[in-house]
Structure 1
């Protein structure tokens, strides 16, 4: 990594910057109920944490024999999620602090998420992050979602930064794998405690095993700027 180039930081959104998974679970549950699937549990939802919405719905559509096209399911879920997100979405305080520290230090930053652009643009203002994080890439705007590296590589291009000069902040195995494939360093802050032992998460360059309850903005900032 170049010592003369400021490190760019690419944040995942859901489960990393903001605790949006409860809203995604409820939105998915509502949509599946409309198509005769009444028993979608949190455990069912947790299987797809870190995977793009479209990819998730494609699997669920096949699994439950839903006839509706995935685009219809996607529109329904996005509408339900936007309603829930507008009502309430919490930013993780230490993540918010890290983003502000990086902004003050002049580090380029972006959000690269599996969510739709409307969902990202709805969440960031509600979480007080829209003035800090202005560069956005949705997985719907690239060919392949995580664990493919496309969304992170697109973010690096928008920031005008080499992948080797980027650090990704992620909460789930597919995102950590996407960062590895992109040739980027990765800070892992697992949303689900059990995922701290996942081999992909464990391979991150910096791991906060306790997730958000252990995450420390100053420690992460110091590690980033030293790189």
Structure 2
């Protein structure tokens, strides 16, 4: 499997969506910033410190299910909110309401600007499948299927474990490994024979703790050291760098 840059034992590849397959991480970061900054205007001092679209995004929300991201970031500012209900309106001052506001903004930005894929990733996935390896998309996003369809990539994945599936199966999100493990099980592959491809620190933690055979960190924002610290076996700027896929 050296032509793919993977150990010979790997039989399946599990890919994150945002930041690995699609150029949507920046869209999510912008939506989180607008959501949180609007919310924090009602506070003073440290609690009112604006959301940092790089540092706070990477540390508290990237890769996590939406509600978990809300809770984790607000906890960093010493703020607690009522949980609310999934159907809360986007102006509700609840965890679910803030999450719905963020999702509303993301969808608006995607409709306005569209979605782009990373061509190096698409070529790599095609090369992986040509070698007979199985593939899965593993994302906390509830919009995964629509995003894949928008870039014509739904056919590249044998299994999809996203925010919708995770909710149905009651799977905890990243940094827990459960969604990646579910993808491996659905593919019929042992965890140690599956490789994880992630750009988020929470995703690295999931790969490290889940018993997977190889964890590839994709560094889109200059956080190579942090990706290694959180469990990457190798870090690349683009999947085209792996093996002979360039």
| Superposition TM-score tier, normalisation by shorter sequence | 0.7 to 0.9
Q: In the TM superposition, what is the alpha-carbon distance from 1:182 to its structure 2 partner?
A: 1.3
Q: Does 1:126 align with 2:150?
A: yes
1:198 maps to which of 213, 223, 226: 226
- Any idea what the Cα deviations from partners look like across 1:86-138, whole Å, max 9, x if unmatched? 3422211110101111222322111111222xx11121122231121252112
Question: Is the alpha carbon distance of 1:29 and 1:179 closer, same or farther for their aligned partners in structure 2, counting shifts above 3 Å?
Answer: same
Number of residue pairs matched by the alignment: 213
Alpha-carbon distance in structure 1 between the residues aligned to 2:234 and 2:98: 36
The CA distance in 1 between the partners of 2:146 and 2:241, in whole Å, is 24
CA contact (8 A) 2:216 2:232 kept: yes
- Taking only aligned residues, the RMSD between alpha carbons, in angstroms, comes to 2.8
Please give the per-residue CA displacement for 1:17-62, whole angstroms capped at 9, x wherever unaligned.
Answer: 1121121122223323543549434233343333332221112344
CA contact (8 A) 1:177 1:200 kept: no
Q: What TM-score do you get using the length of structure 1 for normalisation?
A: 0.80
> Are positions 1:164 and 2:192 aligned together?
yes
CA deviations 1:65-89 (Å, max 9, x no partner) are 6562212222222222122223422
Partner of 2:108: 83
**Unaligned runs of at least 5 residues, structure 1:** 223-227
Say if 1:12 and 1:199 are closer, same or farther in 2 by CA, change over 3 A: closer
- Which shifted more, 11-20 or 30-39? 30-39
Quote the residue 2:44 is aligned against.
Answer: none
Offset of residue 6 of structure 1: 6.7
**Alignment correspondent of 2:59:** 47
Selected match of 1:13 from 3, 6, 17: 17
Deviation at 1:220, TM superposition (A): 7.2
Moved more, 196-205 or 127-136: 196-205
2:98 paired residue number: 73
Determine the structure 1 residue equivalent to 2:201. 173
For the pair 1:35 / 2:39, whether they are aligned, the reply is yes
Task: State the TM-score, normalized to the length of structure 2.
Answer: 0.74
Residue matched to 2:138: 112
The reply on whether 1:60 has 2:64 as its aligned counterpart is no
Change (3 A) 1:26 1:6: closer
- Runs of 4+ more than 6 Å apart: 3-6
When Rg is computed on C-alpha atoms for both structures, the one with the higher figure is: 2
- Unaligned runs of at least 5 residues, structure 2: 1-6, 42-47, 83-92
